[in-house]
Amino acid sequence: MALSETEVARWSRQLLLPGMGEASQELLRGARVRVTGGGLATAPAIYYLAAAGVGTIWIEDSDPVTPGCGAGFALGPEDEGRAKGAALVEFGRWASGFLAADPYRAGSRPTALVVCGSSLDVSRAIADEARLLRLPHVVADVDGQGGAVTTVPVGSPCYSCGSRPGLGAAPTAEGGAAMGALAALELVLLLTGASTEPRARRIEVFRGTPLVRATARQAGCACAGPAAAGLAP
Amino acid sequence: MIPAVHLDLRAHACPITWVKARIALSRLAPGEVLELLLRDGEARENIPRSAEEEGHEVLRLAPAPEEGPGAWRAWLARGASGEVPSWP
Ligand SMILES: [Zn+2]
């Protein structure tokens, strides 16, 4: 369905970007993105997905809002004690009147995931679930004031294959904001087909310097199985 | 040659003028013509140039006094490429 007058007005600047147009904006509007993992990149990722015109975001975060929980980007002291997922749903609705934001419910069928794990183990587990469900996903690792974002198109080297140890520094809100924004951008490029090769890639941002490299499959990884070759049902 | 679509952009300002023209062009088949009514000034100067930069052809650009003071008419033919230009 074509964009409405109000949608054209709302996304006018983005509609002028190279690689973007009415068709890409429609793809974003039709996307259903599950944002999950409970890490510091969550709120910024929600904000930038909403600002890009993603139509539906399902948020999964069962922790309560606490001081220093990293939701300061989105939430204030008045939210402390509330369920973070519900508060972030409200934040998403505030970020864009065009967005349907809701808590993620088991059995929902997202078209893509943004994984903002509170630890690498959490991210690995969710990313593996996304791989098995054959859903494109982007993983944000926050590491100190930077971190890394791994983009995993369907059938490409998995997050475990693509990631490698970083500095191992304590995550900061600044790192969360940067990696959340970058993860949202990577997913927008992936969903609209506007990203350039290599699409399966990892962007590392340490000490302010970004490094982009194609991800490669590790020998013996489960992601090299029939699902990766597109042979699974 | 008959324009396939007419669009009166005189009530709009930059960048909505070019956004709307660009979307209208993207909905046409290559070679089909979009007719625009523009205000003199920014829209008259920028829209034909932006269209040419994206591979469309400006067939005609002329004052259209019968449409009111300061009105201009542009005919743009959709370029051969079916794609929105991508990142370099
Ligand atoms: Zn793998």
Distance (Å) from CA A127 to ligand 1 centroid: 10
Number of compact structural domains in chain A: 1
Integer Cα distance of B36 and A36 in angstroms: 46
A149: in domain:
yes
Instruction: Give which of A179, A193, A167, A101 is closest to A138, Cα–Cα.
Output: A179
Instruction: Give which of A34, A219, A193, A197 is closest to B83, Cα–Cα.
Output: A193
* Chain-chain contact of A24 with B84 (C-beta, under 8 angstroms): yes
In this model, does residue B84 exceed pLDDT 60? no
pTM, two decimal places: 0.86
A229: in domain:
no
A150: β partners: A139, A202
In chain B, the domains with their CATH numbers are 5-77 (3.30.110.40)
A233: in domain:
no
Quote the distance between the C-alpha of residue B23 and its chain's center: 10
A145: in domain:
yes
Q: Which residue of B has its CA nearest to A15?
A: B19
- Beta sheet of B71-77, edge-to-edge order: B5-8, B33-39, B71-77, B57-63
Q: Which of A18, A22, A194 sits opposite B23 (nearest CB)?
A: A22
What percentage of chain B exceeds 90 in pLDDT? 83
A162: in domain:
yes
Is B14 known to be catalytic? yes
A213: in domain:
yes
User: Which whole number is the average pLDDT over A33-60?
Assistant: 96
* Chain-chain contact of B19 with A16 (C-beta, under 8 angstroms): yes
Across all residues in chain B, what is the average pLDDT?
Answer: 90
In this model, does residue B88 exceed pLDDT 50? no
Integer Cα distance of A33 and A187 in angstroms: 9
* Chain-chain contact of B85 with A23 (C-beta, under 8 angstroms): no
Distance (Å) from CA A131 to ligand 1 centroid: 9
Query: pLDDT tens for residues B34-76?
Result: 999 999 999 999 999 999 999 999 999 999 999 999 999 999 9
A155: in domain:
yes
Residue A184's CATH number: 3.40.50.720
* Chain-chain contact of A8 with B27 (C-beta, under 8 angstroms): no
Catalytic residue among B14, B16, B19, B64: B14
The residue range of the domain holding A201 is: 14-218
A230: in domain:
no
What does the block give as tokens for B71? 């009105």
